[in-house]
């Protein structure tokens, strides 16, 4: 991570206040579940988990170690600490053919 990065400090897996109004347009954008989706900046994984529950094949990356720790406990193997300023994806996602990126 860059020296300027400060972890958000997620405390729970709860949804953010804005998640509820983002879900409908996000579903419309994604269409029916049809392949791996990457949630860039997934935070604690709340939106990604909601999409997982609807049948989407979602993975998430975020620089927040606290957020990814929470997300990984709720959906193991789908969330990764990753600095988006670094080119490429975590090794576990390198072979995935991502259909959508949110």
| Long-range contact set of residues 82-90: C-beta below 8 Å, sequence gap at least 24 | 83/1, 83/2, 83/5, 84/40, 84/41, 85/2, 89/38, 89/61, 90/61
CATH at residue 94: 3.40.50.150
Q: Which residues of 63-75 are buried (b: 16+ CB within 10 A; e: fewer)?
A: bbebbbebbbeeb
CB 67 within 8 A of CB 76: no
Q: Tell me, yes or no, whether 71 lies in a domain.
A: yes
Q: Tell me, yes or no, whether 28 lies in a domain.
A: no
* Cα 79 to Cα 8: distance, rounded to the nearest angstrom: 16
Q: Please give the pLDDT value at position 84.
A: 83
Q: pLDDT tens digits for 37-68? A: 999 999 999 999 999 999 999 999 999 999 99
Among 2-6, 18-22, 70-74, 89-93, the range scoring the smallest mean pLDDT is 2-6
pTM: 0.88
Range of the domain at 79: 35-101
CB 63 within 8 A of CB 5: yes
Tokens representing residue 4 in the block: 């300027």
Q: Please give the pLDDT value at position 7.
A: 85
Q: What total of structural domains would you count in the chain? A: 1
């Amino acid at each position: 991570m860059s020296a300027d990065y400060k972890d958000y400090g997620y405390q729970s897996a709860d949804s953010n206040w804005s998640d509820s109004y983002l879900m409908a347009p996000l579903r419309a954008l994604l269409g029916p579940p049809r392949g791996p989706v990457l949630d860039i900046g997934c935070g604690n994984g709340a939106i990604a988990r909601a999409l997982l529950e609807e049948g989407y094949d979602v993975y998430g990356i975020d620089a927040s170690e606290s957020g990814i720790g929470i997300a990984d406990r709720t959906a193991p193997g789908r969330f990764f600490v990753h600095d988006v300023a670094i080119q490429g994806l975590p090794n576990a996602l390198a072979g995935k053919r991502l259909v959508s990126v949110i």
